Copies of this chain bind each other. A is one copy, B any other.
Amino acid sequence: MIVHEGQIIGRGHNRRVQKGSAILHGEMDAFENAGRRDASVYQEATLYTTLSPCSMCSGAILLYGIPRVIVGENKTFMGEEELLRSRGVAVEVLQDAECIALMEAFIANSPKLWNEDIGEPADA
């Protein structure tokens, strides 16, 4: 979810299955749903995400100069938080119990899909 001036400008969900997509992680879907925006919007926006953002989603955050990212949890997967911080992005990790439970249940129930999500072999 991307928020600008207190308004949600783009919601997103992982739509890999729904759209047969290789790139629509939740964060990417939020960028897509926010539409083509001027840099000035991105540069004052905050991105909220359930899980620590992977390298692709972190790269999109860097491309658009999103200055602040609120992460639900990074216990089930550690994304590129260090890279983001090294480039000046403020990354806050909530370690929210609900986000952790959500991700743990998804990973336990759909291990192949999860592996695909993070670029690992299906049977890893």
Residues of A within 8 A of B (CB): 16, 20-23, 28, 31-32, 34-40, 42, 54-60, 62-65, 80, 83, 115-116, 118-122, 124
Contact = CB atoms under 8 A, between A and B. Distances in A.
Identical subunits present: 2
Contact of A59 (B22, B55, B124): B55
A4 to B, nearest CB: 13
Nearest to A60: B56
26 contacts: A16-B36, A21-B32, A21-B36, A22-B31, A22-B32, A22-B34, A22-B37, A23-B23, A23-B32, A23-B60, A36-B116, A39-B115, A39-B116, A39-B120, A39-B121, A39-B124, A42-B119, A55-B63, A56-B56, A56-B59, A56-B60, A59-B62, A59-B80, A63-B119, A64-B119, A65-B119
